[in-house]
A and B are shown apart, each in its own frame.
Chain A
């Protein structure tokens, strides 16, 4: 059974940092592009970043470029999102998504990040 389990969310002060993790199981993690998508409370979906199978290509939405870093460890079947210089606008549920937009798309259940003093 495919599973994507996000962790690392929580309350962080403005300007702070947080590292999200996504543990994958039930499939060959190294075969797929992986994506982070977020959803602010009461708002729509926002694509955040993605990473190629071997980590050689990474893309970011403009609003997080330079602050967030996506990475992966295929040996540990894990996806990460390092988030720095967090602001209130980054408050959201963050979803880990396998192969976004394809027939193999699969979403995790999300982890909530709250940026507040």
Chain B
């Protein structure tokens, strides 16, 4: 059972938009920055979003992040087949004094 809650899977057609949610609490998302990671199976995760809504250089603006209260959201627009991957949210948890991840969401581009 992960501290942060994500839907196990989402799917959409190429060109469409998908939203992945990440729900936490006041000890993590509510008062800390959220980051998002993309992981293609068999490879290391890659940073997509940091500080809730900032993109590292090289990440297309099709990927965007937002946060409201104790929840965060990753939006992906203009879906491409290459976006098929697992997506994870992460944050620091003050109560645990440790980092925490969501359980991951598998994105299928139909």
Which of A's residues lie within 8 Å of B, judged by CB? 35, 37, 44-47, 50, 59-62, 95, 100-103, 105-110
| Pair B54/A103 contact, Cβ less than 8 Å | yes
| Pair B101/A45 contact, Cβ less than 8 Å | yes
Residues of A within 8 A of B86 (CB): 44
Which of B's residues lie within 8 Å of A, judged by CB? 2, 33, 35, 37, 39, 44-47, 50-51, 54, 56, 86, 88, 90-92, 96-104
Minimum distance in angstroms from A99 CB to a CB of chain B: 10
The A-B contact count (CB < 8 A) is: 65
| Pair A101/B44 contact, Cβ less than 8 Å | no
| Pair A35/B56 contact, Cβ less than 8 Å | no
Minimum distance in angstroms from A67 CB to a CB of chain B: 15
